């Protein structure tokens, strides 16, 4: 059997009322915001499960908060879980991707804030990594919902992509693309989608009938 060459890394936060999706608490309450975090993560994981049924793709989940045992109770004991590393978001994403580059040819890291991500987006991301160093899924808020890297990128260049980025700011994607251009890396952009972070974003959940 051919070895697995692709992996999806899921970044999520263990849902705790008052600590999850805090910008949504004014609209949903603390429990409601945590429930939405819980639902969106499960929705993303379900989409990934559908994708890997037809693909030779591994999946690992990186969580902030909770224990591996609590994650197993939540999302299933058959999955591979890791605590996210120390540092800001960029350092944590770099550490996760860099740790998997020696084994996999293509790595996609995806958050849990964008339920509009489909199996088509995942397939397009991996396809793009056959010809590009980096793939990005832009979000309407100025960030990105997905980033992928291939073996063609060095650790030094990868680290730079995640360094000195104004995380949480509307210039995250802009600054990241500047870094990629300065490094002379080639990249591909997926379709722009909506993250669900603020009360105004809740309108974009309307097409998910089980929300």
pLDDT digit string, tens, across residues 52-74: 998 999 999 999 999 999 999 99
Residue 17 has pLDDT above 80, yes or no: yes
- Beta carbons of 8 and 59 less than 8 angstroms apart: yes
How close are the terminal C-alpha atoms of the chain, in Å? 39
**Per-residue pLDDT, 50:** 96
d(CA 158, CA 136) in angstroms, rounded, equals: 13
Enter the DSSP assignment of 103: T
* Average pLDDT over every residue of 100-124: 96
d(CA 52, CA 90) in angstroms, rounded, equals: 27
**Per-residue pLDDT, 207:** 60
Structure-block tokens of residue 120: 């088509």
Question: How do the domains of the chain map onto residue ranges?
Answer: 6-202
pLDDT digit string, tens, across residues 159-174: 999 999 999 899 999 9
* Average pLDDT over every residue of 3-7: 90
DSSP-derived pairing of the beta strands 6-13 and 80-83:
unpaired
Q: Class of 6-202 per CATH?
A: alpha beta
pLDDT digit string, tens, across residues 181-191: 999 999 999 99
Residue 1 has pLDDT above 50, yes or no: no
Confidence of residue 205 (pLDDT cuts 50, 70, 90): confident
d(CA 151, CA 197) in angstroms, rounded, equals: 32
Residue 31 has pLDDT above 90, yes or no: yes
- Please compute, for residue 67, the number of CA atoms within 13 A of its CA located in the half-sphere on the CB side: 3
pLDDT digit string, tens, across residues 131-157: 999 999 999 999 999 999 999 899 999
């Amino acid at each position: 059997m051919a070895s697995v060459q692709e992996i999806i890394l899921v970044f999520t936060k263990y849902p705790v009322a008052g600590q999850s999706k805090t910008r949504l608490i004014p609209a949903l309450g603390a429990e409601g915001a945590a429930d939405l975090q819980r639902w969106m993560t499960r929705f993303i994981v379900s989409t990934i499960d559908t994708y890997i049924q037809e693909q030779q793709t591994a999946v690992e989940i990186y969580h902030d908060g909770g224990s591996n045992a609590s994650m197993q109770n939540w999302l299933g004991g058959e999955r591979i879980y890791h605590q996210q590393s120390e540092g800001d978001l960029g350092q944590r994403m770099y550490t996760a991707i860099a740790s998997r580059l020696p084994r996999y040819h293509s790595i996609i890291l995806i958050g849990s804030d964008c339920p509009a991500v489909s199996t088509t987006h995942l397939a397009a991301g991996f396809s793009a990594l056959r010809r590009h160093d980096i793939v990005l899924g832009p979000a309407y808020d100025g960030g990105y919902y997905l980033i992928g890297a291939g073996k063609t990128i060095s650790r030094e260049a990868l680290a730079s992509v995640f360094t000195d980025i104004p995380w949480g700011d509307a210039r995250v994607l802009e600054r990241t693309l500047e870094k990629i251009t300065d490094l002379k890396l080639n990249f591909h952009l997926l379709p722009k989608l909506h993250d669900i972070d603020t009360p105004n974003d809740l309108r974009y959940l309307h097409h998910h009938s089980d929300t």
